[in-house]
Amino acid sequence: MVLNLEFPHNQLSTASTQAVHVSPVVLLSIIDSCTRHPAGEQIIGVLLGYRHSNQNHIRIENSFPLKYSETVPIDHEELGRLYLLHLQVNPQQVIVGWYTVGSGIINGAQDIHKDISDETGDKQAVYLNVDVESLANSLEFPIKAFVSSPIGLSSQGTMFLEIPCFTEANKQEIEGLNLVKSIAASEATNHTQVERLEIILKEISATLSTLDGYVSQVLAGEIEADSKVGRYLLDTISLVPKLDPQVFEKVFNVHNGDLMMVSYLAELTKTQLAIAEKLNKI
């Protein structure tokens, strides 16, 4: 028996985990896994991070996807292998829970939660539900976090209790999230890659026009100069490489040619793999 209930957060005394803090890196990783899976396929994965000293708050810093099918249980051997590979890069991070992509709790969630809880030991596992499809409509990251709690004293069933979930990001991460949201919005309106590039270039042009107007007003004495803004502009301009138009055009064409070659090789490899897979089935 599985229930999904939402209680006031001050009434979650039965749940040891009271809040979850999610890094934008996790959200971007989940979005990336969505683009690599066929449409309609259920996506799940493992969450990694840190538990605060009081064990009541979890900081989710990383994730990796898992193969899943409703008819096939989670492969703990594969999970352990992926986790060991992750520990070579982030030895301090531990498994804190799992995630799914969709608008609600999936079928069989309680069984998956039990499997993941085996990996977290005596620590309570967190279930994160990310609704990626609504990103293009709301331009927000709809995330819900749950913990599993037994029903009654006999523990004959369990229910998912929703707990507070926060997205924490620094300035650079916020810019990355805004870029992802803007791309999702443009894709929602069926823009082609060239049209999206045109939109981005127009935004850059508008920003440069605003900047040019500000500098002109300062030079004309119409507004007072701001030393902080001046230093920021100087640092930004110093990062721009000084190239002649002819050199820039040559570099751009070479880069564009390399990119087209890589795209061609990728499509060729994909085709060869598809043919090989069909031949093996004969």
Q: CB under 8 Å to 142, separation ≥6 — which residues?
A: 130, 131, 134, 135
Residues in the chain: 282
Confidence band, pLDDT 50/70/90 cuts, at residue 48: very high
Averaged confidence pLDDT in the chain: 78
> Do 125 and 74 touch, CB atoms closer than 8 A?
no
At 75-129, the pLDDT tens digits run 888 888 889 988 888 888 999 999 988 878 888 888 888 888 888 888 888 999 8
Name residue, tokens 């934008």.
24
At 158-214, the pLDDT tens digits run 788 888 888 877 666 666 666 666 665 555 555 566 777 788 788 888 888 888 899
Which token pair is 19? 């809040």
Confidence band, pLDDT 50/70/90 cuts, at residue 132: confident
Structure confidence at residue 11 (pLDDT): 41
Distance from chain centroid for Cα 269: 27
Strands of the 19-22 sheet, one edge to the other: 2-5, 157-163, 143-151, 126-130, 94-101, 44-51, 57-66, 19-22, 165-167
Structure confidence at residue 47 (pLDDT): 92
Q: Are strands 157-163 and 2-5 parallel, antiparallel or unpaired?
A: parallel
Please indicate, yes or no, whether the overall pTM of this predicted structure exceeds 0.75.
no
Other beta carbons less than 10 A from residue 10's beta carbon: 7
